[in-house]
Amino acid sequence: MIIIHDEKKPSYYKAAVGEAVIFNCHIEYPHDVPIPYILNWNKEGQTIFSLYESKATAKGSYKGRIKLIESDSDYGKGSINLTNIRETDGGWYECQILFPNRSPITHQNGTWFHLKVEGGNVIAIPPINQTTIEGEIARFPCCTKENTSNVVWKKDGVKEEHSGSYTCTPFNELGTDGPSPKMNVFVLKSPVFTITPQMLYIRRKGESLHIPCEATEEHKIHKPNIVWLKNGKFFVRGNLTLMDLQEEDRGVYQCIASNAVTSIFAETEVMIENTAPRAPYNIQTDSTIDTITVKWKSGLTKPKLDFSVWYRTTDSSTWEFLPLLATNTKEYVIRSLQPGTEYEVMVLCRDAFGDGMFSKSVVVKTKGISTVPDKNYYEISKNISIEISEEGCMINWYFPNEEPDLEHYEIQYVENGMLNNAITKDPFYLVKNSHQEDNCQFQIFAVTKGKNYIKSSFFIIINSSSKKKINAVILGVSFGMLF
């Protein structure tokens, strides 16, 4: 039986298994003069913790679970913190202060506390915090109410130093049959690439291609898994070898190395030589009185694609060519068009290996009323002659003599990816050093005086990659544009 002698009312506490509780106990000195004292904490009449001359001692199952509260806190100097509460911790606790150097040795003693352990926790004895010397064995008791209960241990904030061998030793009131076999724990780190693929592979059709990609992790115990994606979709596991390359093999490939921690990525692109890009699609247009805005989507994602816009009136067989100087541009405004006129528009895509396919043509009408004159153009002769020498390309053409209002000719040509303009009154022009280009592109315009009217020639591409053979390709017939 517990008899409470003091007139002070006891304090009541509640806690669940595994939690902690602080018993707040103030020390009252005789005449308020600090003198030496002995602090005893008793449970059910048995001393479980004592403090004398700064030496603290816990007994029995309370070892490692009772800690004296710091003196500079808001709690009394005799307060303790009981941690890792067990079901057996429930009951009455007494904070007893003794003064060994005075008589009587007690003074207003007996501060009482009652602890109720709540909840249906299956753990009867939870593990407690421990401090061990490096290399020693640390034992953590964890007892359940039922013998059939399963116990799972978890560790947060795992670091590399937590790697090692672990054993589990089950026991009951009859003893133990010994520890379990050792369990080896390896703390993994993120994988690291040892070999990565190149940024770009260019191969010809029919060739084979091996793309290396290897990774490791620090302990070299578990090799990371290697998986390849093609254009964002699963392709193959392990090494990547492409045999008998075809156009459909071109694309973006991604190497993914992964372990239980995370995944890392490396990307490359495969291009097939002499394979033209796919045709642009989703052609959209918008018009004003004298302009048409053309937008499109590329048929293939590549580092460098050049586009050109082709257009003509629907009642003409002439196609006008407009090169786009900016790489990967997917929008263009056609200017200086006739009001109220229907035009047919399409887009051509090119890469470093040649022309691709034309997009589907679309018909769009400019706003306003048509003002096209009855006699809307004169043709520059189809008998265009081209001579290539060490100086460059000499272009000769013929213009009808019956046109009296001719003012000059304008020549447009593409050199090193840039559009250049030249003006001459002669029916010939020398483009210097153009023979050094793989492809020379020309277009000739005839400008009249009073009518301010332009007649265009054919659009010409000269393939001069071979010095012995000259190929001139006529891609259109004459076309008139009114400024």
Is the pLDDT score of 458 beyond 50?
no
Burial bucket for residue 50 (CB in 10 Å: 0-12, 13-18, 19+): middle
Distance CA 446, CA 423 (A): 10
Examine the pLDDT at 455 and tell me if it is beyond 90: no
Assign 3-class secondary structure to 424-461: ECCCEEEEECHHHCCEEEEEEEEEECCCCEEEEEEEEE
**In the numeric block, which tokens belong to residue 400?**
């009808």
- Going by their DSSP bridges, the two strands 11-16 and 479-482 should be labelled as unpaired
Pairing of strands 200-203, 263-272: parallel
Q: Which domains does the chain have, with CATH numbers?
A: 11-118 (2.60.40.10), 193-272 (2.60.40.10), 281-365 (2.60.40.10), 385-482 (2.60.40)
- Using the predicted structure, report yes or no on whether residue 278 has a pLDDT greater than 50: yes
CB 406 within 8 Å of CB 378: no
The mean pLDDT of 257-275, rounded to a whole number, is 84
Asked if the model's pLDDT at residue 474 lies above 50, the reply is no
Record the tokens describing residue 417, joined without a space: 């990816």
Which is it for the CA torsion 70, 71, 73, 79, positive or negative? positive
Q: Given this model, what pLDDT does residue 472 score? A: 43
Predicted confidence at residue 64, as pLDDT, reads 86
Least confident among 29-33, 288-292, 404-408: 404-408
pLDDT digits (tens, 9 = 90+) for 127-172: 777 778 877 888 777 777 666 667 777 777 777 777 788 888 877 7
* Range name among 116-125, 154-163, 218-227, 472-481 with the lowest pLDDT average: 472-481
Per-residue model confidence as pLDDT tens digits over 75-120: 888 899 999 888 888 999 999 888 887 776 665 566 899 999 886 5
Least confident of 295-299, 321-325, 348-352, 408-412: 321-325
Q: Write down the pLDDT at residue 480.
A: 36
The pLDDT of 237-243, averaged and rounded, is: 89
Q: Please name the amino acid found at residue 446.
A: A
Amino acid identity of residue 394, one-letter, is M
Greater model confidence, 72 or 200: 200
**Alpha carbon distance 221, 395 (integer Å):** 71
pLDDT at 382: 53
Nearest to 362 by CA among 320, 322, 318, 311: 311
Q: Is the pLDDT of residue 41 over 70?
A: yes
**3-class state of residue 31 by DSSP:** helix
Please report which helix (H) or strand (E) contains residue 144, including its range.
strand 143-144
Exposure letters 150-162 (e unless 16+ CB within 10 A, then b)? eeeeeeeeeeeee
pLDDT for 445 beyond 80: no
Residue 156: phi and psi, rounded to 5, are: -95, 160
Taking only the tens place, the pLDDT of each residue in 172-214 is: 777 777 888 888 777 777 888 999 999 889 888 889 999 999 9
pLDDT band for position 305 (cuts 50, 70, 90): confident
Contact (CB, 8 A) for 30 and 99: yes
Report pLDDT for 75.
87
Which residues are paired to 442 by β-bridges?
413, 460
**Structure tokens, 136:** 């020693």
- The amino acid at residue 389 is S
Please report the pLDDT score of residue 439 as a whole number. Answer: 53
Phi/psi at 473 (nearest 5 deg)? Answer: -110, 115
For residue 324, pLDDT over 50 is answered with: yes
The whole-angstrom separation of Cα 180 and Cα 169 is 6
pLDDT at residue 468 is higher than 80: no
pLDDT of residue 13: 92
Neighbours of 24 (CB within 10 A): 17
Q: Residue 21 — pLDDT band, cuts 50, 70, 90? A: very high
CB contact at 8 A, 24 and 78 = no
- List, in order, residues 6 or more apart from 237 with CB less than 8 Å away: 225, 226, 227, 228
Q: What is the pLDDT of residue 48?
A: 92
Q: Higher model confidence: residue 406 or residue 466? A: 406
Q: By C-alpha distance, which of 46, 36, 8, 44 is closest to 98? A: 36
Tell me how far apart the alpha carbons of residues 340 and 366 are, in angstroms, rounded to a whole number: 5
Distances (CA, A) of 78 to 41, 127, 245: 9, 25, 83
The rounded mean pLDDT for the chain is: 77
Q: What is the pLDDT of residue 482?
A: 33
DSSP assignment of 357-368 equals EEPPPEEEE-SS
Is-contact 448 473, C-beta < 8 A? Answer: no
Instruction: Determine contact, residues 216/188, Cβ cutoff 8 Å.
Output: no
Query: Is the pLDDT assigned to residue 473 strictly greater than 60?
Result: no
Residue 5 — pLDDT band, cuts 50, 70, 90?
A: very low
